[in-house]
Amino acid sequence: MRKLFALFLLFFISLHFSAANFPAADVHPYHVGSVEFKYDSKTQTFQISGKFFLDDLENALKQKFGKAVHFNDEKYRAQINSYLTEYCSEYLKLKTDNKFLKINYLGYEEDSEAVNIYLESEKTAIPKKVETAVSFLYNLFDDQMNIVHVIVGGHRRSERLNYPDRYLYQNF
């Protein structure tokens, strides 16, 4: 757990460094992102958020859809939302108590050199078993690491998924 926390901390600290401090071809030497699935008992949905390096996500979308988009340019906002809706539906799945849940893309926001993505599941009763499939940026990097957090009833379970691993099973 300490190693996982250290990796997570390193990821967020690195987001505060300017890309100008690194060579242009290698802005960051590792590929890591995080996804959190948090069950909200009031809405009976999972509130889902992901955080990824901005340049990695731009490159993954370009590779997937064949057209470049730029998060820092407002003229691409509609296209990015369209791409992320489709990208998330393919690379992010959620199943509770052996039932797949529909996930709705809500939007994104830029955060320095990262992008936060927001989604919400359809309603479901508080689950006993949660299964996730997270393969964000696997279409771009064979060394991608995704840190996945599942929170139900105040209990947090976290795991690191290294490419090609994408499945996480948790009992609550």
Q: Quick check: 84 pLDDT over 80?
A: yes
16 within a domain of the structure (yes/no): no
**pLDDT on residue 60:** 97
162 within a domain of the structure (yes/no): yes
9 within a domain of the structure (yes/no): no
**pLDDT on residue 112:** 86
163 within a domain of the structure (yes/no): yes
CA distance 138 to 170: 22
151 within a domain of the structure (yes/no): yes
Range of the domain at 55: 36-171
Give the tens place of pLDDT for each residue, 115-139. 999 999 999 999 999 999 999 999 9
128 within a domain of the structure (yes/no): yes
Q: Quick check: 4 pLDDT over 90?
A: no
- Global pTM? 0.84
102 within a domain of the structure (yes/no): yes
Number of domains in the chain: 1
% of the chain exceeding 70 in pLDDT: 84
